[in-house]
Structure 1
Amino acid sequence: MAVDPTKPDPKKTLADGEVIARLAAELPRWKLEDGWIRRTYRTNSWKGTLMVINTVGHLAEAAWHHPDLTASYAWVEVRLMSHDVKGITERDLQLAKKIEAVVDWQPGTEPGSALEGTPRSDLRFAYIKHD
Structure 2
Amino acid sequence: MDLLDDSAVDRRLADVPEWRREGDEIRRTINAPDFPAAIRIVDEIAVEAEKLNHHPDIDIRWRNLHLALSTHDAGGLTELDFTLAARIDEIAAAHT
> Structure 2 length as normaliser, TM-score?
0.90
Aligned-pair distance for 1:18?
1.8
Aligned equivalent of 2:87: 98
Once the two structures are superposed, residues 53-111 of structure 1 have per-residue CA deviations (whole angstroms, 9 ceiling, x without a partner) of 11111110111111111111021011110111111001111111111122213xxxxxx
TM alignment of 1:26-105, pairs within 5 A: 26-105=15-94
User: What residue ranges of structure 1 are gaps of 5+ in the alignment?
Assistant: 1-10, 106-127
Partner residue of 1:3? none
Tell me the CA shift for residue 38 of structure 1. 1.0
Amino acid at match of 1:12: D
Structure 1 partner of 2:9: 19
Q: Report the counterpart of residue 117 of structure 1 in structure 2.
A: none
Aligned mates of 2:9, 2:23 — CA distance in 1: 13
Q: Quick one: higher RCO (CA 8 Å, sep 6+), 1 or 2?
A: 2
- Which secondary structure does the structure 1 equivalent of 2:74 belong to? coil
Q: TM-score, normalised by structure 1?
A: 0.68
Q: Which aligned segments of 4 or more residues in structure 1 are displaced greater than 4 angstroms?
A: none
RMSD, aligned CA: 1.3
| Identical positions, percent | 30
The structure richer in helix per residue is: 2
Instruction: In structure 2, list runs of 5 or more residues that go unmatched.
Output: none
Contact residue 30 and residue 39 of structure 1 kept, 8 A = yes
Larger radius of gyration: 1
